Structure formats: structure tokens, C-alpha cells
Amino acid sequence: MTNQSLLDLDSGQPEDGPPPSTATPATMNELYTAVEVIKSNYVTKEEIALLAGKLDVLAANQQAFQASLLAFQTHALQTFATKAELSTAVYQLTWRMAGFTALLLSAGFAFARFL
């Protein structure tokens, strides 16, 4: 009996496929086709240049967005009002609302009267 490793469980089994010398031309043709499919998965220099151009556009758009966001934040920080200005604005809006309500009521009464 020959010495065998405990890990060598398949030493007495035949190999899984035919030996390479008996490979058929059809099998070799399938292998060549598979290799061509794998080659087609590579990116060409033109595609890389196209993607690089798109990335440049995205980077420019991101910089423009960041600049507009910074301008908005700066404007938002500079916009504030004092209590007196707020009180005056609320007072004016209250009277505008009262005038609009009176106008609507008088228009409603005039419409009802002419019917």
C-alpha cells in the first residue's frame, strides 16, 4: 500500500475531464469565443476619455452648487430684523388683512343686493 496524505481523498479517482490532447475543435472554438467575450469587457481609451469628460462636468457642477450654497448661506445670515421692524410689519399686515376682509364683505353684500 502506498503512503497517502489524509487530505488526498481523490487520488484513486479518475480526472474530471478528458486530457487536453483529446479536446475537440468545437470545445476549443467555445474557449476562443469565451476569451473574446472577456476581452470585450475591457474599457477603451476613448471610453475612459468620455467618462473623464463627464466627471469633469460633474466636478464643475458640484463646485457651482457649492458656490451658490455658500452665497445663499451668507445671504441668510445677513437677513435679520429687529423687534421694532417685526412689529411694524405685523401691524401693516394686520391692517391689510382687515381691509381685504372689509372689501370682501362689502362685495358680498353688493352681490346679494343686486340679485
Q: What is the pTM of this model?
A: 0.32
User: What was the pLDDT predicted at 14?
Assistant: 55
Q: Which residue has the higher pLDDT, 108 or 35?
A: 108
Confidence at 108, pLDDT banded by 50, 70, 90? very high
In this predicted structure, what is the pLDDT of residue 64? Answer: 85
Taking Cα atoms as reference points, which of 17, 44, 42 lies closest to residue 31?
Answer: 17
The residue whose grid cell reads 362685495 is: 107
Q: What is the pLDDT of residues 60-83, one digit of tens each?
A: 888 888 888 888 777 766 667 788
